[in-house]
Amino acid sequence: MGEIAQRFLHISQVSYTASSSLFGEDKFSYPRFYRLVPITEQVADGYVAVVKKLRWRRVAVISHDSELHLSVGRYTVDRLTNNSIHVLTHESFGHDPTHVIKSVKRVNARIIITWIPHTVAVHFWCMVIRERLAGPDFVWFLPGWFKANWWSAGNDTSCSANKIKATLEHTLGGLGNSLPVTNLSRIIVSDQNVSQFEEDLIEIENSSGSVTTDIFLNYGYIYDAMWTIALALNSSISILEDRGLGRLEDFTYDSVEMANVFTEAVANVSFEGISDVHEYA
């Protein structure tokens, strides 16, 4: 759908979640695509750096069999191998992780890097517990894109939410799309600091009657994506006028010249956001 939107409908896209390297590499299919999140391969580089820093030499890798997870799993294996770290096994699974977890147990892996979606996380980790692979003798790298309190969401396994949570002490995670913001006093594009924005966000959540922590997983990227679009459209107004291309509201899917202006405008955006100082050029 993204390829159709960009190549045939001439729509620029600014993503706060798309971490696949495909979108950035394939400029023919995605000529108007911009992202705010790090690509998953960069996260894998972070994992490998941790493994190398701690001088761990034997690692197993587990991937879900979807394209994104398999691709980054293979990338992780290559990066580990290139850094003289022995990959004991690289296993993948679809719905049932039983065989891959038993394989990891069979090769006596103690350091395991996983690339799995949050939809299988509960079932996956329950199997880890049942095979007695969770605890101080093991280090599991879990993706940072799991939802808040994922161990209690849709849990239909024999492992209680409390039991799963209690065994997560010896895992490393949060290196994915989740955004830890440490400098809360930094002034951002809206002339308020990050702390003030977070207070406003919590107030809105509380007043809506549906309080959830999930929004904090990507709130910085979401906020910055909206500002990117707003600033790009605002700067386009005078350019469209100077070139005699009409107004923003005159845009149609056939307006290639207007679409080019919008794409150029996004590329020239620069501002202090929550997640970073954004310059797309």
* Single residue among 129, 145, 172 that ends a domain in this structure: 172
Query: Is 230 within 8 Å of 196 (Cβ atoms)?
Result: no
Residue 241 belongs to domain spanning: 184-279
Distances in whole angstroms, Cα of residue 243 to Cα of each of 32, 131, 252, 269: 21, 66, 17, 20
Structural domain count, the chain? 2
pLDDT digits (tens, 9 = 90+) for 57-66: 999 999 999 8
CA distance 73 to 62: 7
- The values of phi and psi at residue 185, to 5°, are -95, -5
Residue 89 has pLDDT above 70, yes or no: yes
* Single residue among 140, 172, 204 that ends a domain in this structure: 172
Phi-psi region of 55 (alpha: psi -120 to 50; beta: other; left: phi over 0): left
Read out DSSP for 215-245? GGGTHHHHHHHHHHHHHHHHHHHHHHHHTT-
* Single residue among 146, 172, 198 that ends a domain in this structure: 172
Residue 188 has pLDDT above 80, yes or no: yes
The stretch 75-90 carries a mean pLDDT of 96
- How does the average pLDDT of the chain come out, rounded? 84
pLDDT for 177: 45
pLDDT band at 220; cut points 50, 70, 90: confident
Give me the percent of the chain exceeding a pLDDT of 90: 43
pLDDT digits (tens, 9 = 90+) for 14-31: 877 666 666 656 666 677
Tell whether 121 is covered by a domain. yes
Query: Is the same domain home to 47 and 147?
Result: yes
Residue 276 has pLDDT above 90, yes or no: no
pLDDT for 175: 36
Query: Is the same domain home to 151 and 70?
Result: yes
Residue 224 has pLDDT above 60, yes or no: yes
Query: Is 263 within 8 Å of 229 (Cβ atoms)?
Result: no
CA distance 19 to 258: 27
Helix pair angle (67-82, 40-53), 10° resolution: 30
CA distance 127 to 264: 49
Tokens 């400098």 — which residue? 183
**Amino acid, res. 28:** F
